[in-house]
Structure 1
Amino acid sequence: MPINHDTSFLDHMPQNCAVQFLDRVESSPDREAFRFPRGEAWESVTWRQAGDRVRRLAAGLMALGLESEQRVGIAASTRYEWILADLAIMCAGGATTTVYPTTGGDDTAYILGDSESRFVFAEDESQLAKLRDHREELHGIAKVITFDDTLADGEWVISLEQLAELGDGYLTEHPDAIEQVTKDIQPDQLATLIYTSGTTGKPKGVRLLHRAWVFEGEAIKAQDILHEDDLQFLWLPMAHSFGKVLLSTQLACGFATAIDGRVDKIVENLGIVKPTFMGAAPRIFEKAHARIVTMQASEGGAKEKIFKKAFEVGVKVDRLQREGRSVPLLLKLQHGLFDKLVFSKVRERFGGRVKFFISGSAALNAEIAEWFHAAGILILEGYGMTENAAGATVGHPQDYKIGTVGHAFPGTEVRIGENDEVQLKGPHVMAGYHNLPDATAEAFTEDGWLRTGDKGAIDEDGFLHITGRIKELFKTSGGKYIAPPAVEAKFKAICPYVSQFMVFGAERNFVSALITLDPDALAAWAAENGMEGASYTELVRSEKVKAMVGEYVDELNQQLNRWETVKKWELLDHDLTIESGELTPSLKVKRNVVEANNKDLIDGFYS
């Protein structure tokens, strides 16, 4: 069912992010805005309560002397206080500089220095230590505001509560300060500097304006995808544009958000919170899929047979329905039975109320999307980049195609340029890179479209297909082109134990691969195969595990063109992590880092 992409909302958008927030507080004062864990329980606040807190903190920043568009850093994980800090910065007329909590001290100092941040919100002792270690370089930072009251020293470091008290004093003297400041913020003023965790060189600060963030939220609202009575579960890093765009969407649509940034708690929290939607990176869906599949395999016997048969029937029925064809009666009856026995239990693991998930920041394997869809869980894919405030296209609950990233947001344009490059235009596009005019010029075509560096195609129904990164495509010495993401995604759908699968072979005579396994899934496999208690390294070096993985590689090769087949491969003795520098904070593999770290091993495949 095609969706009407009406663009009339563009004429009635809030002037800036601060007004967007204050409008929401005014229109939904007594509705739930946020809930968050406090110890074992969850605490809830209304929009009015959040608004009061934000006003006090914003006024506190003004009392400290924050001026229009001056930068304020946030070095913290995803939590309620992150959102309070960001909204307070917006309402004080400043601009947020985001710092991942996993960013090292040197890069943290570089980001805060390059952005010329005047103040910093620091979550805890570990974030504060980075600032103290680089205090000489960070002489421009007048105050640090910590989320941990016990760390305040009353001089350079103050607590969130002390900032709010400063705000109380300021509002007593200037009762209309917030209204005055927010009214004056223009749509083309700087709202955020998000530093992209570049795979090479220093991170680049992406200058995103108020109009970009306001537009993102209002464009989702205009498509009638989310409503006031929805409930979001938010764990994504708020330092990443995907997390930030979900906040803008919340302000536009008015739904409540349950926040907990602990990745290891996602599945447990879904069962407690019972959200109607969540945004996530594909790795989260891959892990959930693998966990469910391996748990059923470990039970064996009749249960495993029923589970496998259920998904065989589910995928068949699902494909017929998506193609608009009728489902034979016997198949329909089988499907109804399997829905009660199997699919309802899968849905229950995610809280039982999910209308859809939104997957972004990397390509989702279509077979995994189909598997979830067969169980009655829709995963809509979105597409975009930090340079366009995260959202360029997204599937719609009534208008989607598995394997595509949907249509362009209303009021924006997508085209396919030279070398099949996806290019973007619209109010969501960045104002450029901070202090980097040459890099900014390179990011745009001569006629002003943003270059994404992604290869893609638009089908006859207007759906965008992303086929890989232009730079990631490589050619073998035999002259055949290989798209690594396509081969890698196939393996992830076949092997439930895999964490990362990376193929190489540029200018070589065959394709090779490096493989890492998911430590949790591998531990479960070890327990069932007489190797319980063995370390990750011991397991991946064992002949038993190599034989198990080898069978999955053989299965993969049967699905590939001859020139794509993986001739040699090796298991790495560790999984990739953000801390090792081999994954970005949004869980993308830094391919060149992995390749450099394992140069001798890869060269050995070809010697």
Structure 2
Amino acid sequence: LKEATWLGRVAYDAGLKVGQKRAAYLKTLARVPLYLKCAFFVFDNLVFRNIRRALGIDKCRWLSTAAAPIAPDLIDWYWSIGKPMYEVYGQTECTGIATANLLDDFRIGSVGKAIEDVEVVLSEEDEILIRSPGVIKGYWNKAEKTAETIRQGWLHTGDVGRIDDDGFIYIIDRMKDIIITAGGKNITPSEIENQLKFSPYVTDAVVVGDKRPYLTCLVMIDDENVTKYAQDNDVPFTNYTSLCHTQEVQDLVHGEIEKVNVKFARVETIKKFRLIDQLLDAEDDELTPTQKLKRKVVNEKYADLIDGMYQGG
């Protein structure tokens, strides 16, 4: 979109506003006014159809996501371009999906309600527990792991969540990933990280702050988009590492972080950040097979870099 013509960008911005208004009706299962249908039809043919085709979702009636928590802004964006997206939830240990949003019974931001024959409750620690015929009997030759995960027929998912009065389930974060600051404030890092990853210049990020006075962040930039930004702005660099250390790229990422900071309470804002200046691939220990940063590995490998952000206050 940044490479589109001026007229194309104007059409996209105007169309997105129309799409957002239309989506607001659809999300409440209300009838979309005729004028809004007509306006969306125009922008759909001018802009959105090409975007959906480029993403490979032009033949889909609706989309479903069940991986890591997804930023609400991204879900809203898909709705706005004409493809409703619904979250579902499950684990290998419960043989797939345990909860789902249905086309006529959904709530944005939730992973839906428990599906048929599945029970979902919260423990005293707000951990999500699942009981169903699909829950595994145990792990092969791992009695200790089985006893830790499955107790009295309930699968302990390791996810913290909440359930509203209508039975919709919301995933907050992994229990082991919740940050408790030095001031005793509980922080959900994935919420902040997902907002950061909404930036075209950020591939992934790890928020740090457990037992620390404030939050900091390690950022992995998007090589392609940041390289193009540098080239378009005549920023001199020789390789990925030198690109990360240019003042212009540092300022670029700082600006993206500031855009995210305004969405959160003061205690949840990122005070300092560092860029991971190595171009990582799937063979590196820091990345999962799906190119996501491993929180534990990153915290260990870049401990000195992290500690440096807390020296001197």
Amino acid at match of 1:580: D
1:412 corresponding residue in structure 2 = 118
Distance 2:143 2:303 in 1: 34
For 1:297, the equivalent position in structure 2 comes to: 2
The Cα of 1:533 is off from its aligned counterpart by 7.9
Alpha-carbon spacing, 1:420–1:599, altered in 2? closer, same or farther (3 Å)? same
TM-score when normalising by structure 1: 0.49
- Matched letter for residue 550 of structure 1: H
Equivalence for 1:312: 17
Q: 2:169 aligns with which of 452, 464, 468?
A: 464
Q: How do residues 381-460 of structure 1 correspond to structure 2 at under 5 angstroms?
A: 381-445=87-151, 447-460=152-165
The answer to whether the 8 A contact 1:518-1:575 is kept is: no
Report Cα offsets for 1:247-293 as digits up to 9, x if no partner.
xxxxxxxxxxxxxxxxxxxxxxxxxxxxxxxxxxxxxxxxxxxxxxx
Task: Return the alpha-carbon distance in structure 2 between the equivalents of residues 555 and 466 of structure 1.
Answer: 24
Q: Distance in 2 between matches of 1:499 and 1:486?
A: 15
Per-residue deviation, 1:332: 4.3
Matched with 1:564 is: 268
3-state SS of 1:467 partner: strand
Paired residues of 2:23 and 2:79 also in contact (CA < 8 A) = yes
The aligned residue for residue 490 of structure 1 is: 195
What is aligned with 2:79? 373
Number of positions where the alignment pairs a residue of Structure 1 with one of Structure 2? 310
Matched, 1:593 2:297: yes
Give deviations 1:147-191, integer Å, cap 9, x for gaps: xxxxxxxxxxxxxxxxxxxxxxxxxxxxxxxxxxxxxxxxxxxxx
C-alpha separation in 2, matches of 1:383 and 1:587:
21
The structural deviation recorded for 1:423 is 0.6
For 2:33 and 2:76, the matched residues in 1 are separated by 20
Equivalent positions of 1:246-261 (< 5 A) are: none
Percent of aligned pairs with the same amino acid? 34
**Aligned mates of 2:309, 2:57 — CA distance in 1:** 46
In the TM superposition, what is the alpha-carbon distance from 1:330 to its structure 2 partner? 5.0
Quote the offset at 1:594 in angstroms: 0.4
Which ranges in structure 1 are unaligned for 5 or more consecutive residues?
1-295
Q: Which residue number corresponds to residue 478 of structure 1?
A: 183
Tell me the distance in 2 between the aligned counterparts of 1:458 and 1:576. 38
* Aligned residue type for 1:525: Y
Q: 8 Å contact 2:127–2:160 — kept in the other structure?
A: yes
Q: 2:249 & 2:184 partners in 1: Cα distance? A: 34
1:336 aligns to what?
41
Residue 450 of structure 1: how far off its partner (Å): 0.6
What residue number does 2:259 align with? 555
Task: Report 1:73-88 matches (<5 A).
Answer: none
Looking at structure 1, the residues matched to 20 and 279 of structure 2 have their Cα atoms a distance apart, in angstroms, of 31
Please tell me whether the aligned partners of residues 578 and 585 of structure 1 are also in contact (alpha carbons under 8 angstroms): yes
- Quote the RMSD (CA, aligned, Å): 2.1
**Are the equivalent residues in 2 in contact too, given 1:394–1:406 (CA < 8 A)?**
yes
* Structure 2 unaligned regions, length at least 5: none
Distance 2:196 2:210 in 1: 20
Match of 1:299, SS? coil
Residues 327 and 395 (structure 1 numbering): CA distance in 2 closer, same or farther, change over 3 Å? closer
Is it true that 1:539 corresponds to 2:230 in the alignment? no
Structural mapping, 1:74-113, within 5 Å = none
Structure 2 contact 237–246 (Cα < 8 Å) conserved: no
SS at match of 1:424: strand
Q: 1:529 aligns with which of 228, 233, 236?
A: 233
Taking the aligned partners of 2:291 and 2:245, their CA distance within structure 1 comes to 25
